[in-house]
Chains A and B, each alone.
Chain A
Amino acid sequence: MKISITILFACLISFSCKRNFEAPVPDTHWDLFESAEKLPSVARPGIEGIYNFQQGSDVFGLAAAAKWSYSANGNDTIYHLSLFCEKEVSYFILEGKKSGDSILLNGYWRKMVNTETGIARFTIASVNGARKLLNGIPLGSDDSIVLDGKYGNGPAMPDQSLRLKYNRPLYKAKPLQIVAHRGGGSTADLLPASENSVAMINMASRYGATGIEIDVRTTSDKVFVLFHDATLNERLIRKNGLLGPIENYSYDQLYTLVRLKQGERIPTLKEALHTVVYNTALEYVWLDTKFTGPIDELVKMQRQFMQEAAAIGRQLEITIGIPDQQVLNNFLALPDHNNIPSVCELTPDDVVAANSRIWAPRWTLGLQNEQVQQMHAQGRKAYVWTLDVPQNVFEYMNQGEFDGILSNYPSIVAYYYYAKQ
């Protein structure tokens, strides 16, 4: 009897173990960084490039692609330097400041395939390129930028050495649209924001995206909102007793009662596109049409925001996504559909019928180089979705002829792209 009780208590403890996964962004407060000066804009472009890891390659891979991005909020613009690495889809997201003749970079790192994260700090010393960068002096062939730093695990202070040395510029010969899935990433990947949220759209370019794909649904009062799943469920929202199809609820009900997993409200499409135009440098938006019914109001919004972007000198393409036959039929019913930018996931014949600018086949159908070339001959582009396995991303980028890749892990797409030679 004692043994049975012991065994059962062991079960109790064993089965009671919580297995919640989290990857909270650590506290990156750094006194030296807080007291430093703003980094002059002339210093930023020279830092971009491919760096080789001289210390830290066992954790992050052989090289990193350094790329600046920004998010604007009124008159405030925050610049982030991302280092995209290969091993386990890792990246660093840093901010930069000037400290005397040196440049300080402060932020955090994360591995997307698991939940490992931690603080990261770098210094570019004056003799290692900072003086020239800060004064806008072009670096000569004998100069080299060196990032000396440390990283830590979780909330712990960084204590493990990192050293990166500049190798060459970023590859930009043949453009590639790096499209982040669901506005920047999936909720299950434990990013600081929920998928299909305004907060996520603001962060997308830090993860390497040049464009985003967002999922559009309608409420019972015909308001366009961003939400992937057909129903409100535990995966995406905090528990509140509301279940069933999102289209059963009005926008007011969703606004008041629903919070996404990281606490955000479900955004309207209008809020999302406003953020893209006025707060980011994203060049492309794929509106994945997840509702049945007429799409003329969606097209009106597409036009409005493309015009607003053009008015402020922003390069932005917004395409209506055609994922299935029903949406295609609704699209073809529009009188001027030939002039509406769209991206079609169906067959090449459907692409021609809709006069879509972009053909978007599923990656499991293969490289389809011949069909992609046909699309190019017609003046169209081809984007492939959704590629997350790094080896497959590399294969499609180097052996395929696609103009864009849709991924939950835009950082690995960015790494392989910018590191091309």
Chain B
Amino acid sequence: MNHSYRKGFQLVLFFFLLAGLIGIKAQDIPIDHQKRIFFPYPMDRKWSTSVGFTGTTMPYEITEELHFRMPAGDVHILRRLKNKWYLDGHLSLQGLQNLATLGPRIAIPVTDRLSMAAGNDIGFWFGIINVQGVKTKGTGWQNYPNLSFGYRFNKRILVTLKAESIMNIGINTHAGDIKVTTDYRLFSGSAYTLALEQPFYGKKSLTLAFRAIYTNFYWQTWTLFEPYDRNLFFPQIIVGIIL
């Protein structure tokens, strides 16, 4: 991570620490009926849905001068299974290229405020894009084993830290009729998410999250056919309204 991000992040986390030390003194509200997506806790309703967007900044090594933030529509759907189990489905939508992941979670409350969850998501991405007049197609399978820790502050503030391993199981890309070989490692990197969830307005709740992705193949960059075998840094912001 470059110098600026490191300084800024340390500042953000310093504020979190300060918040914790200040001790938000208010009436404690139980977690029941509080809307959440990232927070690892057994579901109290059958379905939970959030709609929002993500913005991922591409590193210079990949996009060179075009240092832009790739926006994507973001949909999360949780479905309670039984007891502490639930399914987490996620869609990252950009029209011409999209990613879908689905996987089980088991959520375990550890203390009154701390809880954790473990899960594994299978992902599939696909894209058809015209790159400089050439129809370029790609598909790939991924796997994301993950672990989450959540802490419930007062005033319905839910903070989650999630760690994921990024595995690329298969990548299949074509530029026109030419098969392009994209070298990748099975264990392609990892991602770390810090999420804040709390009521926003009316009955809607808000997810605000930052995800630090370190990977040698990020699915949104498949059209660039980059040969680097380095875990590059892709910072991603996540905003979602929990319906």
Contacts and interface: CB of A to CB of B under 8 A. Distances in A.
Interface of A: 1, 3-5, 7-12, 14-21, 88-89, 112-115, 188, 228-231, 233-235, 362-366, 388-392, 395, 409
Given A15-B212, A19-B233, A362-B132, A388 B227 contact: yes
B149 interface: yes
Contacts of B114: 3-4
Given A366-B176, A392-B178, A113 B151 contact: no
A8 B131 contact: no
A88 B229 contact: yes
B225 A389 contact: yes
Given A8-B20, A15-B1, A113 B177 contact: no
A229 B214 CA distance: 26
B186 interface: no
A3 B151 contact: yes
Interface residues of B, number: 50
Contact of B64 (A229, A363, A391): A229
Task: Pick the 8 closest A-B CB pairs, nearest first.
Answer: A364-B175, A229-B65, A235-B60, A391-B181, A364-B134, A114-B229, A188-B61, A113-B229
A4 B1 contact: no
Contacts of A231: 65
A230 B212 contact: no
B132 A188 contact: no
Interface stretch (B9-17, B44-52, B83-91, B120-128): B9-17
Contacts of B21: 5
Given A12-B10, A113-B228, A5 B20 contact: yes
Contacts of B133: 365
Nearest to B152: A4
Given A12-B10, A365-B134, A366-B176, A7 B151 contact: yes
B183 A14 contact: no
B166 to A, nearest CB: 15
B94 interface: no
Given A4-B151, A364-B175, A392-B178, A230 B17 contact: no
A288 to B, nearest CB: 14
Contacts of A10: 161
A114 B230 contact: yes
Contacts of A366: 176-178
B101 to A, nearest CB: 22
Contacts of A391: 181
A17 B9 CA distance: 11
Interface of B: 1-2, 6, 9-10, 13-14, 16-17, 20-21, 23, 60-61, 64-65, 67, 111, 113-114, 131-134, 136, 149, 151, 153, 159, 161, 175-178, 180-183, 192, 194, 212, 214, 225, 227-233
Contacts of A7: 149, 151, 161
Contacts, number: 118
A260 B2 CA distance: 18
7 contacts: A4-B153, A8-B16, A15-B212, A234-B60, A388-B227, A389-B181, A389-B227
A366 B227 CA distance: 19
Given A1-B23, A389-B227, A15 B192 contact: yes
B201 to A, nearest CB: 26
Most buried by B among A7, A8, A233, A364: A364
Contacts of B159: 4
Contacts of A188: 60-61, 64, 228
A326 B172 CA distance: 36
A111 to B, nearest CB: 8
B227 to A, nearest CB: 5
Nearest to B150: A7
A183 to B, nearest CB: 15
A17 B13 contact: no
Contact of A233 (B65, B111, B132, B228): B65
Contact of A16 (B10, B183, B227, B228): B10
A313 B70 CA distance: 52
Given A188-B61, A409-B227, A8 B17 contact: yes
A264 B129 CA distance: 38
Contacts of A21: 230
A233 B60 CA distance: 10
Contacts of B161: 7, 10-11
B183 to A, nearest CB: 7
A284 B153 CA distance: 67
Contacts of B9: 15-16
Contacts of B149: 7
A184 to B, nearest CB: 17
B213 to A, nearest CB: 11
B231 A19 contact: yes
Contacts of A18: 1-2, 6
A235 B175 contact: no
B214 A19 contact: yes
A397 to B, nearest CB: 14
A16 B6 contact: yes
A97 B159 CA distance: 64
Nearest to A113: B229
A12 B60 contact: no
Nearest to B9: A15
Most buried by B among A11, A234, A362, A363: A11
A11 B65 contact: no
A24 to B, nearest CB: 15
Contacts of B67: 233-235
Contact of B65 (A4, A235, A363, A365): A235
A364 B181 contact: no
Nearest to A188: B61
Contacts of B230: 21, 114-115
A112 B227 CA distance: 9
Contact of B20 (A4, A20, A113): A4
Contacts of A14: 192, 212
Contacts of B14: 12
B183 A113 contact: yes
A112 to B, nearest CB: 8
